[in-house]
Amino acid sequence: MSSTTQHHHLEDLLEADKNAWPLLKSERTWGSWKLGISLVTAAAATWCYIIGEYVGYYLNFDKGFAALFAGSMIGMLIVALAAGPICLRFGVDSIASTKPSFGSRGWIIPAAMQQISIIGWNSLLLIFFAKSTTQLLLALGLIADTGSKFLVPVTILLACALVFLFLLRGSGGVDRVAKILVAHVFVGFWMLYVIMNQRWGDLTAAVPAYASTSPLWNYTTGVEIGIVSLLSWWPYLGAMIRMAPDGRTAAAPIMVGMGAPVPLLSLIGIAGILVLQVSDPAEWLRTIGGPTYGIIALLFVAAANLGTAVAGVYASAIGLRHFPAFENMSWTTLLLLAIGPVVLVGLFIPELFFANFGTFLAFIGLAFAPLCGIQITDYYFLRNRKISIRCIFSNGDHSGYWFTGGFNMAAIAGMIAGCGAYRYLLNPLTYESHSPYEYVTASLPAAVVAGVVYALVTLFVNKPAKKGGY
């Protein structure tokens, strides 16, 4: 192939990459290892500490790990089955994968959920980053107390600028960052070793602060936290796995690379909250080992959060591309639109986010569990895996996925039913629950209820009316 032809192919790929267009098989060159490393880098971030913290409120170290691990892997499977097949077959992102089930306009519902979710997670990451930086500089005596309140916004802006620069060339930025930052995962395990080695006695004797009187409820809540945390990967998954050529290349990296690191690194948070009443290792490493350990923790926080923020902003920008108003927008402007809300949250309401993380997690489950249930039902049971890539990218009423005015009423009914089921089983604001939550979680029944309602409306309304291209 001549260098001119190669150059044209590369330019076409970059254009498709930034336009959320489907990638051709020849362009999807990430092997299992490359994909796995990128997924690990995205999954392993300081949100693991706060996830671990919430599990540590209800369970001790051993049971906490078991519940969180099981829930995380189940949640990862649900996401892999929901968005995975269409993204892997056609090289598209998660939003595109919803068009057969939500409709040619109805995809705006998952898109809004995706944007809110990624803004929330990215804000959390960058606030963690800024607070940790401030604490460390205070501990080292490099800034006075009065200077700290200016440092948090400055640090957030700096982190956002770095993420922006990494992504200027599209998904290549995700891969480049992953290669460098994957090392932070090993630093995370070292931090876990430090606390286990130095405080093992305290760890095994610790009592969870908010454990209920029902051991089963506590255990199920640990599983639920694991499931909903991994349901959060739905927005990220498609944008990354579309770079792999097929399901065989992606299946194990998805489960091992994106599923397993969360519970493993969350052990840091579980241990921290049980022994030291703080999940952020940047704080407790200073307590245990002094400023040197704190510096190491900060480097880990910076590396972990930047890597994940890069993946999140990329997925967010690709998701925005589906909106007609942003179709022809420059990649640079699109990136700024994706990063902008994160900057605003980080500058103006950081503490509000931190204080309500548990509610944020529960709302993730409330929203994404029904979505996954609908996608799985549609792809495997109603369409028998038959998907039209042309209909995914057609926007008019001639599209096979037009349904009613562009919206699939079955998906809307399924979402309402699934959200209602979740809300009945577990209140995301108060964590009050109703039976049979303690036996089945809230996310799993919500996904099933959404899928069943979706199937019924499809079979009795859409199919007879010949809507949806079935």
Partner 1 sequence: MAEKLNPELERRLKALENPAEQGADYDTVSWFWLIFLGVVLPVIVLIWGWQL
Q: Which stretch binds partner 1 (CB under 8 A): 291-299, 300-308, 346-354, 390-398?
A: 390-398
Q: Does 65 bind partner 1 (CB under 8 A)?
A: yes
CB-wise, 65 or 129, nearer to partner 1? 65
When binding is defined by CB under 8 A, the residue of 162, 389, 452, 459 that contacts partner 1 is 389
User: Is 205 an interacting residue with respect to partner 1 (CB under 8 A)?
Assistant: no
Min CB(225)–partner 1 separation in Å: 14
- List Cβ neighbours of 304 (8 Å cut-off, separation of 6 or more): 44, 45, 46, 181, 184, 185, 188
Q: What token pair was written down for 425?
A: 């089983």
Q: Does residue number 245 form part of the binding site for partner 1 (CB under 8 A)?
A: yes
**298 sits near partner 1 (criterion: CB under 8 A):** no
Please name the amino acid found at residue 143: I
Q: Does 247 bind partner 1 (CB under 8 A)?
A: yes
88 binds partner 1 (CB under 8 A): yes
Residue 84 touches partner 1, criterion: CB under 8 A: yes
Q: Any idea what DSSP says for residue 242?
A: T
Six-digit token pair at 355? Answer: 């204080």
The one-letter amino acid at 59: L
Neighbouring residues of 25: CB distance < 8 A, sequence distance ≥ 6: 91, 245
Judged by CB under 8 A, the number of residues near partner 1 is 53
- Check residue 467 for interaction with partner 1 (CB under 8 A): no
Residue 63 or residue 463: which is nearer to partner 1 going by CB?
Answer: 63
Q: Is 248 in the site for partner 1 (CB under 8 A)?
A: yes
Residue 22 in contact with residue 16, Cβ under 8 Å?
yes
Closest distance of CB 192 from partner 1, Å: 18
| Tokens linked to 86 | 């269409």
E-assigned strand segments in 27-136: none
User: Residue 206 CB, nearest distance to partner 1 (Å)?
Assistant: 14
Interatomic CA distance for residues 359 and 224, integer angstroms: 13
Q: Does 70 engage in binding with partner 1 (CB under 8 A)?
A: yes
Interface with partner 1 (CB under 8 A), residue from 85, 350, 365, 451: 85
* Using rule CB under 8 A, residue 355 touches partner 1: no
Residue 212 interacts with partner 1 (CB under 8 A)? no
Please choose, from the candidates 312, 247, 262, the residue with its C-alpha nearest in 3D space to the C-alpha of residue 75: 262
SS3 7: helix
Check binding of 234 to partner 1 (CB under 8 A).
no
Residue 114: closest CA among 19, 231, 224, 17: 231
Asked whether position 7 contacts partner 1 by CB under 8 A, the answer is no
Q: Is 383 in the site for partner 1 (CB under 8 A)?
A: no
Give all strands (DSSP E) within 145-286, no chain letters. none
251 binds partner 1 per the rule CB under 8 A: yes
Nearer to partner 1, 336 or 389 (CB): 389
**Which of 100/259 has CB closer to partner 1?**
259
For 184-196, b/e burial (b = at least 16 CB within 10 A) is bbebbeebbebbb
CB 279 within 8 A of CB 50: yes
With contact defined as beta carbons under 8 Å apart, do 78 and 371 qualify? no
CB 357, CB 50: distance < 8 Å: yes
How near is the Cβ of 16 to partner 1 at its closest, in Å?
Answer: 7
- Site of interaction with partner 1 (CB under 8 A): 12, 15-16, 19, 21-25, 28, 62-63, 65-67, 69-71, 73-74, 76-78, 80-81, 84-85, 88-91, 219, 223, 244-248, 250-252, 255-256, 259-260, 385, 389-390, 393-396, 398
